[in-house]
Amino acid sequence: MRKKTHLGRRNFLKTSVFGMFGAGMATKTGWAQEKESTQEQSKEIKDKTQPKIKGYRILGRTGFKVSDLAIGYIQDEGLMSAMLDAGANYIDTAESYPGAHSTISKVIKGRDRKSLFITTKMLMEGDTSKEGLIKRVQKALQELDTEYVDCMMMHMPDKIEMLKNEAFHAAMQELKSEGRIRFVGVTHHGSFWLRGPEETMEKILLAAADDGRFDVFLFAYNFLKMDQSEKVLEACKEKNIGAVLMKSTPVFKYYVIKSRLEKLEKEGKDIHPLYKEGLKRYKDKFDKAEQFVKKYGLQNPDEIREAAIRFVLNNPLVNTVCCSLNTYDEMERILPLSGSKLSDWDKAKLAAYKESCGELYCRHACGLCEPRCPQGVPVNTIMRYFHYFTAQGREKEAMLQYAAIPGERADSCHECQGYCEEACHYNVPIQGMLLLAHNQLSMV
């Protein structure tokens, strides 16, 4: 069991409240002194016990010193605020994340704006005329309640030619000259079958590096998916482009799927045939994963998650890593990773995890199997939504995104020969996983 070495937020609040109660019995002057001293003590306890960001790195040509752990998708205002208090200073958001801009506006109120690096992103959909894009940025600024964003990113361009969209660059230039944005970036985590499966994350980001107008990249990189991303990291180094990571902890699905099955069984619920079919195909991988957990005495997936974050931070070409958090406990586990080193024990755990459970992970930004699917199912995109559901607590959003997929989803995978599975270089039991994803994302 992990030993708790610091106070959680609730315990910290209890400490403060207890101190205040005791102070109430003192005289008025004494009370004021007591209160002051209690607050001082509480602050000291908090400062000593709350983990802080220890590592900062220069974000490429922006020259900004960003915390090595960045604020990714966090819905809770208090949690985001606590991350900022701990020293995180990079905030990642997007026009398409429901309510995210207004959450950030509340959290940054009263803070030194110059000490923060706020990045948001726009999909190249809807009104993409120069005027339309400018209006969208102005709306984002209004929602964020800030004078400027540090970086405006093109969100998931489907094709290389989209990087050259002149309306986008003209809009960015104008907004830069008005001081409304400081830098321009691009983000990617995989091709979208219907729009161009041949244009992979690697090809698009390498083309963006050559284009020269993008100052920051946000992309997928983790210990199970290194090939494409390492070339992108090299390009970032060569062109002095800021390298921000996402999808760095590919480790949760096994536990989530397992606990869902146990819950259904415990409740005596009928397990849908699609789900059963998926699990059957998945079972031998599950068994291997179980052996891994037993062998390493792991209590929960956080232990691998922590090693996975240390792994990406160990790469000096990485500037910061976006962390999506749902709870204070998660935050308290993640903060001590800042500035820490990858240990031999971490390396051993990750290597063993890769060996035992690596085949349970459909690589973000891959899509190699998609051209083999006769139905045109966007495998990589569906598995990304499944990741949002199972690993990031974004259930509702993931289900809405799944429902909005144009064309084929994974409905018909159970009747197929599994061509995608045959084509997968990583031996992922993807047909079964698609069935599981379909079951969970559509709640059939």
Binding footprint of ligand SF4 on the chain (CB under 6 A) = 362-363, 366-369, 373, 375, 377, 379-380, 410, 412-413, 416, 418-420, 424-426, 428, 430-431, 434
Provide the minimum distance between the beta carbon of 384 and ligand SF4 in the complex, in angstroms, as a whole number: 10
Measured from the CB atom, is 232 or 410 closer to ligand SF4? 410
Measured from the CB atom, is 86 or 424 closer to ligand SF4? 424
Give the list of residues 6+ apart from residue 412 with CB closer than 8 angstroms, or none.
Answer: 375
Rounded CA-CA distance 183/151 in Å is 4
Measured from the CB atom, is 144 or 365 closer to ligand SF4? 365
- Residue 320's H or E segment, with its range, is strand 320-323
Provide the minimum distance between the beta carbon of 422 and ligand SF4 in the complex, in angstroms, as a whole number: 9
Measured from the CB atom, is 69 or 410 closer to ligand SF4? 410
Measured from the CB atom, is 334 or 420 closer to ligand SF4? 420
Closest CA to 198 of 410, 371, 372, 388: 371
Provide the minimum distance between the beta carbon of 161 and ligand SF4 in the complex, in angstroms, as a whole number: 23
Provide the minimum distance between the beta carbon of 3 and ligand SF4 in the complex, in angstroms, as a whole number: 37
Rg from Cα positions in the chain: 23
CB 367 within 8 A of CB 226: no
Cα three-residue angle 295-297-299, rounded to 5 degrees: 140
The residues facing 216 across adjacent strands are 185, 242
Token look-up 């995109």 returns 381
- Residue 65's H or E segment, with its range, is strand 65-67
CB 413 within 8 A of CB 421: no
Measured from the CB atom, is 335 or 430 closer to ligand SF4? 430
Structure tokens at 185: 């970036």
Measured from the CB atom, is 291 or 412 closer to ligand SF4? 412
Measured from the CB atom, is 296 or 426 closer to ligand SF4? 426
Query: Is 243 in a helix, a strand, or coil?
Result: strand
Token look-up 């060569």 returns 238
Q: At what angle do helices 130-144 and 100-108 cross, to 10 degrees?
A: 50
Provide the minimum distance between the beta carbon of 425 and ligand SF4 in the complex, in angstroms, as a whole number: 6
Rounded CA-CA distance 166/176 in Å is 15
Strand 181-188 and strand 149-155: pairing? parallel
Provide the minimum distance between the beta carbon of 366 and ligand SF4 in the complex, in angstroms, as a whole number: 3
Provide the minimum distance between the beta carbon of 421 and ligand SF4 in the complex, in angstroms, as a whole number: 7
CB 103 within 8 A of CB 77: yes
